[in-house]
Structure 1
Amino acid sequence: MNFRKIKQEEESSYLEIRRPLGEKILSFMEDVHYKTKKRINSYQSVYAWDNWSIFDINNKEYFAMHDYLFGHILYDDILERASNAYPKHFNTSNPEDVLTAINLTRGRKIVDMGEWLRQTSYIAVTDMSMKKVLKIGLFRNIDKIEFSSGFLHCLKHFKGRNNQYLTSITNSKKKFYNQPELPSTLILCITDCLFNGAPKSIIPFNDDYTYVYDYVMGGKTFEVHFYYSTKFDVYMFSTIHRI
C-alpha cells in the first residue's frame, strides 16, 4: 500500500498546502454542487487530518485530501468487501444497487445517498508545488444503467481480485484489464498520468478543456481523460480505458 495517513507529528510540515488545497476544492464544490450555506458548512470535515494522506510515485511526494468514503476505499477495501458481502448488488445494471451495498457495508443509512455521494465523495491530489490539482469524484451522474464519469464509472473497464467487476455494469464490447490491486493502484496511475505525462490532445469545450493522455500500465496502453476547469484551475478525472 503506497498511501498512508499523515501522522500527528508530521502535520506542521503540511499546513502550508492543506489550507489552499482545501479552500480550492471547497470553492469548486460550492459552485458546482452545493445550493445552501448549511450544506457547505456540513462539509468542513475536509480539514480533519484523518481525511488527508500522502503517497509517492517515483520518489516524488503527493498530498491527497479525501472524504470518509474514499478513505474506506483506500484503507479498508470497502468496494471488495461490499461485493463479497452483497454480490447480488453488483452487475445488475442499476448503479443504485452498488451504492446500497457500499452503505450497508459501512453501516450507514443516507437519504438520497446517490445525490449525496455524487456531491461529496472525492479524492483531491496535488504535489508540494500545487501547480496542478486533480479531483477524482466517485461519479458525476447516474444514468439508467451505469455511473457516468468518475471513479465508479471507470471500474467497468477493470477486474479486481477474484476476477470481480466492482461496478454496476460490464460491457463485453470494451476491452477490460485485470488489475488485482484495485482501487489504489488506479488512483496512483491516474495521478502519475496527469502530473508526469504529456497530453496527446487538448479539446476546447466552452471556456474549459478536455485533456486526453495515453498511459502505459502493465504493458497495456490506456487512454485517460480529464476535464479542466479554467475558473477553478482544477483537473477532474473522467475515465480511463484500454485502447
Structure 2
Amino acid sequence: MNSDGQWRKRHSRILFAGGPHSRIRLTVDQAVRPDGVTVEYPHVAAPDSVRVLAIHRGQVAMVAQDHYLHGTITDLPGGLIEEDEQPADAAGRELAEETGLQAAWMYPLGAVATARAVSTERSHLFLAHGCVPDDRALDAGESLQLQGRSWHDLVDGDARALQGAKLPALADAASLATLHRVDTLMRSSGDNLPSPDDDLPKAAWAAYTVVAAGGAHFADDRVILVWLDLAVGRFAEGQALLAELEAVYDGPDTEAAWAQAAHRLWFMAQQR
C-alpha cells in the first residue's frame, strides 16, 4: 500500500500516436494503485487546451461546429495549446481564429480536467474583453458558425433545460465551467445584472451604483468593465462609454474617466 494514498507509475507504452503533430497518444501505463495493487491503466495522453468566454457589447461569442465524436456542439471558442505556447497566448490565438475578435486582455480563470479518468488533458479557462473585430484573423480552415448570445440566455439556459423548456445553450463541459466561473466573478463585482428587458435608464442606474462604489466589490477594474458591458453594452450610449473607459483603463487618466462615467450613467438613468 502507498503510504501517501497516491498512484505510482512504473512504466508506459504507447499503442498509437496521431492528431496534430502526433501529440495525441493512446497509452497504457503499468501503475500501482493506492492500495498497492498493480494494474494496467489505459488513457489518452493529450495536450492541454483553452476555452475563452469573450464578451463584446453585451454579447457572448459562441461557435457551433460539427465534431466527429459528438456531432454539432455549440460552445465557447477554444482549442489545443501548441507546443511551447503559453495558455493565455493560445486563448488569444484561438479566439481570433474562430471569431475574428482580438482581445485586449485575458483574465485567467484556472483550469479543469476535461475527462479526469481517461485523458491527461486540462482545459485552461479565460475571460476576454476589450475585443476588437478583425476578420483578417479568422482561420479559413475552421468550419464553424459564429453566434452571439446574451448573458442571460446562457446563465439561465440550464434551468430552462431542466424544466423541459429548451435545450441548453452550451454542450461542452469546459465551456460550462468557464461560464460558471465568470458568473461567480460577475456576482462578486457588482449587484445583480439588469434584466434583458430593462430599458436604458433602468440598466444605467444599476451600472451607476457599481461605478459610483468605485469598484469596492472587486479590485480589478477590467472585471468591472465586463460587468458594465453586460449591463449597458447593448445600448449605443453604453457602447460609447465602454469604448472610452477601455481606452484609458490602465493609463494616468483612469480615475477621472471613471468619475466621468459615473456622471454620465447617472444622467442616462434620469432619462425616463
Q: TM > 0.5 between the two?
A: no
TM-score normalised by the chain length of structure 2: 0.27
TM-score normalised by the chain length of structure 1: 0.29
Q: Which entry has the higher C-alpha Rg, 1 or 2?
A: 2
